[in-house]
Structure 1
């Protein structure tokens, strides 16, 4: 019986793209991976290197090089190609360069007849995701950014160390911009289903030194802690990309904090930001509107305004 192959293209064969491909190969997430890069030799080299994993992997994944215009038959296209900030810069400082790179890539991909789902990791990811949506002409539910998925994972890791538990037993989200204006929605952070603020109230002496503001700061700065020491972050975000892609291809209906286009949700429109969403074979099946506290509502609105200002600076055609 013939079955449909699950095909993924990764555009950008650098550290993030190759880490994503490596995670997908080892987790047997798809049947085919096409590596794309502006330097074809690098795409070819990464594909060859990854193909040599198959003898040690549980399932064979076909990995090969291609171009952006070859993406027409892909189910998912992952965009990692972009501009990296220099020391002292923020993710927003590379917006103009990222927009130029993304514009050409998306034009080439759509010219090849692509009609699947975009998953975007290039920074500044919220604005780049919005740009991909505008340029591709695809419905908003089929353009997804990694957003605060990695920040939420970092939050869970930090809390798991404080409470000596598995990170997967922590539920909660960093919301807003994948950047300086992100915040932790503490009103919705739970451990084993129990609100974190209730735990702290019941065990004041045990956790008297725990500063939630410090945890939120460490969550926000975690990427820079890595970047300043080795020049890139790639294992975590590569795994986040694989996680989102798996949820799409397996129709998992998993709730993940991703960059999503808002059209009235959280009283925001004309912006793309990190919020929890149900991820399925349709892309974003549904956005989850959390009942945020008044202070958290203000933080989300402020973060959205920063992202919106970045979008406006690109002067995109309506």
Structure 2
């Protein structure tokens, strides 16, 4: 019987929530959790496993890197967290050192898998993973702005008091401070954002700016209150995994490798991407307005600048 196996590297807050989301959404039949702290992985896996009789059949275990062998997808949530006083570059270099040891071990047991990077800074670490793994770029994907796009739709849905699933729009660029809300292509049903906004007779000035800032600062607001984010990103990861395993060819704003699209190349950055069983099936390219195009290129340059200064390029 064909099984769908997903391994999660890292059993911290995000890794554990991801395993739970995969179970609840019936995405995989086998879930393996690996963490350098094996007892932590065992505890999380056991806690999740004990609810499996109430959902679709799924086996959830804690294991070694060897136990991840022949996974359809390997989700990477492991990595160092940024400490007070550390720069973004410090964090990147620390994670590069971790990935230089970790990725070859994953690839050794999973030469045909799809690598899905979730750890931050996700665009940079996805590029690092691609370089170290030697995989074709189609099989190395970052979770990118799938979560940011969900936040964007949810914020607009709440503001307009409509079902967020009927908001169609994207956050593109870096998963971070330079991300871009693409209002020029956002629609409510089939109505353009600007048309719908006008029909609502909302008098708030700077509505677009406020929503975009709310999305960009969402993680900071949550971290300030509870110390970390984990639930919504886990749902986003489960959504990507579903699109892969079911060969949905869904359009998701994953962090994907660009080779000239939008006048940007040699960088992993988020843009609408067709995701299917082979990973990235196609990167969608569409016309941005002038300000959005400039912002997207600037966002790509920020990512490239950090990579250039990192130990990966040394």
Same fold (TM over 0.5): yes
Of residues 166, 170, 190 in structure 2, which corresponds to 1:169?
Answer: 166
Q: Deviations over 1:242-298 (max 9, x none)?
A: 110011001111111110011111111111111110110011110111210011000
Distance 2:158 2:86 in 1: 30
Matches within 5 A, 1:100-249: 100-203=97-200, 205-209=201-205, 211-249=207-245
- Check the 8 A contact 1:149/1:256 in 2, yes or no: yes
The answer to whether the 8 Å contact 1:98/1:123 transfers is no
Q: Which of 38, 41, 55 in structure 2 is aligned with 1:40?
A: 38
Gaps of 5+ in 1: none
1:52-91 mapped onto 2 (5 Å cutoff):
52-57=50-55, 59-86=56-83
Q: Which runs of 5+ in 2 are unaligned?
A: none
> Which segment drifts farther, 109-118 or 244-253?
109-118
Paired residues of 1:69 and 1:110 also in contact (CA < 8 A): no
Q: Deviations over 1:165-188 (max 9, x none)?
A: 111111111111111111101101
Q: For residues 134-164 of structure 1, give each alpha carbon's deviation from its aligned partner in whole angstroms, at most 9, with x where no partner exists.
A: 1111111111101111111111111011110
Does the C-alpha gap of structure 1 residues 87 and 62 become closer, same or farther in structure 2, counting only changes over 3 Å? same
Cα offsets for 1:36-75 (capped at 9, x unmatched): 0011111111111111011222x11101112223333110
Verify the 8 A CA contact 2:89 2:310 in the aligned structure 1: no
**Change beyond 3 A, Cα 1:97–1:266:** same
1:291 is paired with a residue of what secondary structure?
A: coil
Other structure's SS at 2:41 match: helix
Q: Tell me whether 1:279 sits opposite 2:279 in the alignment.
A: no
Pick from 23, 26, 49 the counterpart of residue 25 of structure 1: 23
Equivalent position of 1:250 in the other structure: 246
Alignment of 1:253-272 (within 5 A): 253-272=249-268
CA contact (8 A) 1:10 1:78 kept: yes
Of 93-102 and 254-263, more deviation after overlay is shown by 93-102
Report the CA distance between 1:13 and its aligned residue.
0.5
d(CA) in 1 for partners of 2:155, 2:87 = 23
Q: 1:93 to 1:184 in 2, by over 3 A?
A: farther
Cα deviation code 1:196-245 (max 9, x no counterpart): 01222344x33545610111111100011001111110001011111100
Give the whole-Å Cα distance in 2 for the aligned partners of 1:65 and 1:226.
29
Shift of 1:88: 7.5
Residue pair 2:144, 2:253 contacting (<8 A) in 1 also:
yes
Q: 1:7 to 1:231 in 2, by over 3 A?
A: same
Q: Work out the CA distance in 2 between the residues paired with 1:105 and 1:218.
A: 35
> Contact (CA 8 Å) 2:16, 2:44: kept in 1 or not?
yes
Pairwise CA RMSD of aligned residues?
1.7
